[in-house]
């Protein structure tokens, strides 16, 4: 009977909005196909190579759970494409190690961060290597073909290899442009060395029905990365007083759970997925600008299995969003007595397609 190979390595949730990190979106994702059924999950000396392509578009602004109905001319449109390659070595007794190498091509089309609201729209871009990850995994129970379920723990490191100070041109007007760091929502990295913790599990009910569950948490001890939130503009005194003039390096998390239905070569899955940025970090202070909140999605998927290759596609559809006041806005509210909260951007769905090669 086939088993779930659940080596979860996800993302850095980032943000998008003028003068803020606002878009709750997955920046990079590694090993998405490792959630899938594969008949070599418990190999003792094999390698697996997983390639995952992800596309995401964000253009809707939310405060709390309320859509701000931003006029089309003033929308900030994020387009993110990531190709993630994960090489996994499967050892004896349930041990495994994964090395994840992401590449990204991102863009942000907006008017406000250029000439201002109502001015011509322009697009900034980023392209290159993202934050590399290395993770070690261990199944708690001795792996066997006959077992009904198991639990896997993972511990890893995210390295700040992605450029988090990537610059492009901003247009002050039609004839004047200036080179400055792009918005954090399209940066290639967050600037922090992170600690990855994972919990993965499965349970097989029948020969055709099984349950999967995944939990991922990235702790970023670094407080801020030193990148301005104002592109080419000077920070205001209030921003400097509250920390809103510089981007924080926030923790992020992802949780998945659902059912797999096995039709021999074809598997169909359905579940729920939550990606988010917490208000408080596990390690370190919360100084700087972030956009805390979460996306909740329903996540249908399909997998086609061949002898040495598995092809898959997943389309998480976002069904609810919540963007909460960030620490810098909370301090500004305290100082001024006027409630302040930035909007966070979101889209409607993600698209993942990929292939898992058994080497």
> Domain ranges in the chain?
3-358
pLDDT tens string, the chain, 359 residues long: the values are: 333 333 222 222 222 222 233 344 445 444 443 334 444 345 545 888 989 999 989 999 888 889 889 998 889 999 999 999 999 998 878 899 999 999 999 999 999 899 888 889 999 999 999 999 999 999 898 887 778 888 999 999 999 999 999 999 999 888 899 999 999 989 999 999 999 999 988 899 998 999 999 899 999 999 999 999 988 889 999 999 999 999 999 999 989 999 999 998 899 999 999 988 999 999 988 899 988 988 999 999 999 988 888 899 999 999 999 999 989 999 999 999 999 888 888 889 989 999 988 88
CA distance 155 to 7: 11
Closest among 58, 7, 13 to 30, alpha carbons compared: 7
Phi-psi group of 190: left, alpha or beta (phi > 0 → left; psi -120 to 50 → alpha; rest → beta): alpha
Under a CB-based contact definition with an 8 Å cutoff, are residues 301 and 350 in contact?
no
Helix (H) or strand (E) holding 330: helix 327-336
Please, are residues 111 and 123 in contact by the beta-carbon 8 Å criterion? no
Superfamily of domain 3-358: monomeric porin ompg (2.40.160.40)
User: pTM score, two decimals?
Assistant: 0.87
Distance between CA atoms of residues 263 and 275, nearest Å: 29
Residues near 69 by Cβ (< 8 Å), separated by ≥ 6?
A: none
């Amino acid at each position: 009977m086939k088993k779930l190979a659940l080596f979860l390595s996800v993302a850095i949730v980032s943000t998008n909005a003028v003068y803020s990190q606002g878009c709750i979106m997955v920046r990079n994702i590694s090993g998405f196909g490792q959630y899938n059924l594969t008949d070599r999950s418990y190999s003792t000396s094999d390698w697996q190579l997983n390639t995952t392509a992800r596309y995401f578009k964000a253009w809707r602004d939310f405060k709390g759970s309320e859509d701000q109905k931003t006029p089309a001319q003033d929308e900030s449109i994020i387009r993110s494409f990531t190709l993630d390659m994960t090489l996994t070595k499967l050892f004896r007794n349930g041990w495994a190690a994964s090395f994840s190498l992401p590449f990204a091509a991102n863009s942000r089309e907006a008017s406000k961060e250029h000439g201002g609201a109502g001015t011509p729209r322009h697009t900034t871009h980023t392209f290159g290597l993202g934050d590399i990850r290395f993770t070690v995994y261990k199944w708690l129970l001795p792996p066997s073909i006959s077992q009904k379920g198991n639990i896997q723990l993972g511990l890893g490191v995210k390295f700040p290899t992605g450029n988090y100070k990537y610059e492009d041109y901003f247009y002050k007007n039609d004839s004047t442009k200036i080179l400055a760091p792009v918005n954090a929502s399209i940066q290639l990295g967050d600037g922090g060395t992170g600690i990855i913790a994972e919990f993965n599990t499965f349970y097989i009910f029948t020969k055709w029905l099984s349950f999967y569950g995944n939990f991922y948490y990235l702790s970023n001890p670094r407080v801020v990365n030193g990148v301005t939130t104002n592109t080419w503009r000077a920070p205001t005194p209030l921003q400097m007083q509250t920390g809103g003039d510089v981007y924080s390096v926030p923790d992020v998390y992802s949780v998945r759970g659902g059912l797999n239905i096995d039709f021999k070569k074809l598997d169909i899955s359905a579940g729920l997925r939550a990606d988010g940025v917490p208000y408080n970090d596990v390690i370190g202070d919360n100084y700087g600008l972030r956009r805390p909140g979460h996306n909740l999605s329903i996540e249908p998927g399909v997998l086609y299995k061949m002898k040495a290759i598995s092809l898959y596609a997943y389309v998480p559809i976002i069904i609810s969003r919540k963007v909460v006041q960030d620490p810098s806005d909370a301090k500004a509210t305290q100082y001024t007595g006027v409630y302040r909260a930035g909007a966070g951007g979101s889209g409607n769905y993600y698209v993942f397609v990929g292939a898992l090669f058994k080497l």
